[in-house]
Amino acid sequence: MDILINKVAESGLITLKMEEWVNHEEIIELDIKQFLFRELILKEKEFRQTLKEFDYTFLKDKVVAVYCSNDAILPKWAFMLLVSSVLPYSNKIYFGNKAEVEQKLLLEKINNLDLSKYEGQRIVIKGCGKEEIADFAYLEITKKLQPIVKSLMFGEACSTVPIYKKK
């Protein structure tokens, strides 16, 4: 009787699935133009009043993407005032539209990885999955891992593309 041997399991490869790091929390876009006079001009007194009267409860415990969808010229403090108003409802506030915030959240996951468990290891970055991973993430994970790993590959354990091998 022949014994089946799982060579992939015995290879010591560690597969990283970046799709597991994708944010699944709801991201609410908050366009600052709605607080401006004619959606274009910041009049400080009116701006402060509009921020004060706005109902932020729909942002409770959500990820908030703050951006401006028009070409208004805004002072830096305008964003500070808006964030100050949102903070009682959510502390997950980022600058940018929804797509930009999704990228920032993925980048946070990459930057907060515990690298100690990958030191000297053979790593495969999974290439396919249910979630689409932006190109920047592959760049960032390579920058993070290459200095510490024995080897870095892309794809599936049974079919990898070599990226880096320590000499």
Q: Is the pTM of this model over 0.85?
A: no
Contact 81, 54 (CB under 8 A): no
Q: Which residues, including other chains, have CB under 8 Å from residue 129's CB and lie 6 or more apart? A: 17, 18, 19
Whose structure tokens read 């002072």? 75
Band (167; pLDDT cuts 50, 70, 90): confident
114-143 per-position pLDDT tens digit: 999 999 999 999 977 788 898 999 999 999
For all residues of the chain together, what is the average pLDDT? Answer: 90
Band (1; pLDDT cuts 50, 70, 90): low
78-90 per-position pLDDT tens digit: 999 999 999 999 9
Q: How many residues does the chain have?
A: 167
pLDDT of 129: 75
Q: Which residues, including other chains, have CB under 8 Å from residue 62's CB and lie 6 or more apart? A: 25, 26, 27, 28, 90, 92
